[in-house]
Copies of this chain bind each other. A is one copy, B any other.
């Protein structure tokens, strides 16, 4: 029995972000990121592929076979942004891209430029490797976003035609098939809602339910020699003995029997994010197991996940190397999607704690402060070797972080029939209806730099509902003030619950203590033994050699020494921290090794900046976890 999720996000246009932090990011994405990405989509042939497909040409597809997904993710992000930031240039690009996509679709609904151009005879025969349904899923999400945000249904009809094409071939009583790279499940769920087609949600649920079948449809595909000639990721799906291995694509077990997060991190996140939306009790229990494994044993302090370059994903418990961390930007985005799904299913704020960790650290670290360059991987230590670039041959991350920022309101607040959930106290204006009464709710804040938050409630008439405010796991102290409160606040599932008759003009003030503090890792994380990391509120800090004038690896922490918050950063109003400590000198004999005793330490004050803001001033050494002196 599938339960309807307890909570839901508000539609895009009902949450407007107003705090300086996310407003700035949205502006940067609208003015810099999306126009720049569109140029890349054009220059790299991604758009040209649609033109060629529209002309029914053969051949000429270059780059990765899943490259069209970047166009769809760009369209999704543009839809969010155009709803709030009018831009005639962006609008022109948006319209052009939609026209190209629509024209490329074949009569029978099929749409995938790689197969249309280069392998028209091999459609749907290499689901394990070729991301055919993955691309479709991103089209579905883009179509839903254009519908939801702009009431623009041009993509929606393309998407439904493709979804119908797929549904005619795969599903109960038809062919057993799902995608090696999960995403179509999320896409179908979004499309089901936007197009009011519950059968698409049924198809998504079926794909989740049959995943892990034996024999796996991917295993059977390995016998299709012709289809395998185009497979470039098959190596990850094979064991050393040459036999099929399902872990890479979370196809090793039925999802409801899974426990640990394994394989490719982005795939796992997209799968579990979709599963959370349609889970019955048994599936929810499996998701809880996987979640606990991830958050309890396999997640960086930044919310980065998937430490291993080899599989772009998970390795073993407590394996969290800092310097060589993969921690793909897309995986952090996926973690946020899943966390939101788990929050909505359970109403428990623990999931927001992790969602917030990813949002303010390991996800937005993937985009430069000016929105022009990106990280694919997000290590927690650099020796000057890690630089942002404007694009990647596998360019999944740039449009992913753009669509995350564009849809940020989805994560800050939720509602249920009983009222409003302020998950993250960022500045926003929300409109919602509770018990038939329209309510406008305004949050004023300078989050995440300040813990002072003012929530103003304006119902059209007095109405009893619960305003829930999440108490973050990092907050050691929270002060609340609600004049004329009719009842004491309760504490439920990590939320302070203010249930009363709300009248227009009621103001709840909150003050989350935001002292900088040192955090330790579980000793089973061997990389971080003897080390501490600095946090303030939801922000994880790092230090860069560009500020320190020496490599941050030489800095040693004395937790007893003071830390001064400095609200005068040159970096867009962020709070930097001035940390007193000790620095090891690099004086050493001209050799690799020498008898112990030559190391000297000197007192220094080191500037720490938010982790997400690193590598914005050229190549720099960087570190998050610091030795204790």
- Name A residues whose Cβ lies closer than 8 Å to a Cβ of B: 295-297, 299, 301, 316, 319, 321, 323-324, 381, 383, 385, 517-526, 529-530, 532-533, 551, 553-554, 556, 559, 584-586, 588, 590-599, 627
* A554-B523 Cα distance, complex, nearest whole Å: 8
The answer to whether A520 touches B595 (Cβ under 8 A) is yes
The answer to whether A596 touches B518 (Cβ under 8 A) is yes
Q: Given A522-B592, A588-B523, A553 and B532 touching (CB < 8 A)?
A: no
* A597-B517 Cα distance, complex, nearest whole Å: 11
27 contacts across the A-B interface (CB closer than 8 A): A296-B590, A296-B591, A296-B592, A297-B592, A299-B592, A301-B592, A316-B385, A319-B383, A321-B324, A323-B526, A324-B324, A517-B595, A517-B596, A518-B595, A519-B593, A520-B588, A520-B596, A521-B593, A522-B588, A523-B554, A523-B584, A523-B586, A523-B588, A523-B599, A529-B584, A529-B627, A530-B584
The answer to whether B586 touches A520 (Cβ under 8 A) is no
The answer to whether A520 touches B594 (Cβ under 8 A) is yes
Closest to A556 in B: B530
* CB-contact partner of A596 in B525, B559, B586, under 8 A: B559
Closest to A524 in B: B586
Q: Which residues of B contact A295 (CB under 8 A)?
A: 592
* A383-B323 Cα distance, complex, nearest whole Å: 18
Q: Which residues of B contact A532 (CB under 8 A)?
A: 596
Closest to A324 in B: B324
* A246-B626 Cα distance, complex, nearest whole Å: 38
* Ranked 10 nearest A-B pairs via Cβ: A518-B596, A526-B553, A520-B596, A523-B586, A530-B627, A522-B588, A532-B596, A522-B592, A519-B593, A301-B593
* A556-B385 Cα distance, complex, nearest whole Å: 30
* A599-B522 Cα distance, complex, nearest whole Å: 9
The answer to whether B520 touches A598 (Cβ under 8 A) is yes
Closest to A587 in B: B523
Q: Which residues of B contact A316 (CB under 8 A)?
A: 385
Closest to A555 in B: B529
Q: How far is the CB of A360 from chain B (nearest CB, A)?
A: 15
Q: Given A526-B553, A529-B584, A627-B529, A521 and B296 touching (CB < 8 A)?
A: no
Q: How far is the CB of A149 from chain B (nearest CB, A)?
A: 36
The answer to whether B526 touches A383 (Cβ under 8 A) is yes
Q: Which residues of B contact A591 (CB under 8 A)?
A: 296, 522
The answer to whether B529 touches A554 (Cβ under 8 A) is yes
Closest to A540 in B: B593
Other than the given A520-B588, A520-B596, 14 more pairs (CB < 8 A) read A296-B590, A301-B592, A383-B526, A518-B596, A520-B594, A520-B598, A521-B592, A522-B592, A522-B594, A523-B586, A524-B586, A529-B627, A532-B596, A533-B593
* A319-B517 Cα distance, complex, nearest whole Å: 31
Q: Which residues of B contact A301 (CB under 8 A)?
A: 592-593
Q: Which residues of B contact A592 (CB under 8 A)?
A: 295-297, 299, 301, 521-522, 525
* A525-B553 Cα distance, complex, nearest whole Å: 10
* A533-B593 Cα distance, complex, nearest whole Å: 10
- A297, A520, A521, A553 — which one has the most chain B CB atoms within 10 A of its CB? A520
Q: Which residues of B contact A585 (CB under 8 A)?
A: 523
Closest to A295 in B: B592
Q: Which residues of B contact A551 (CB under 8 A)?
A: 526
Q: Which residues of B contact A533 (CB under 8 A)?
A: 593
Q: Which residues of B contact A520 (CB under 8 A)?
A: 588, 593-599
The answer to whether B554 touches A596 (Cβ under 8 A) is no
Q: How far is the CB of A385 from chain B (nearest CB, A)?
A: 8
Q: How far is the CB of A127 from chain B (nearest CB, A)?
A: 27
Q: How far is the CB of A392 from chain B (nearest CB, A)?
A: 12
Q: How far is the CB of A301 from chain B (nearest CB, A)?
A: 5
Q: Which residues of B contact A598 (CB under 8 A)?
A: 520
Q: How far is the CB of A557 from chain B (nearest CB, A)?
A: 9
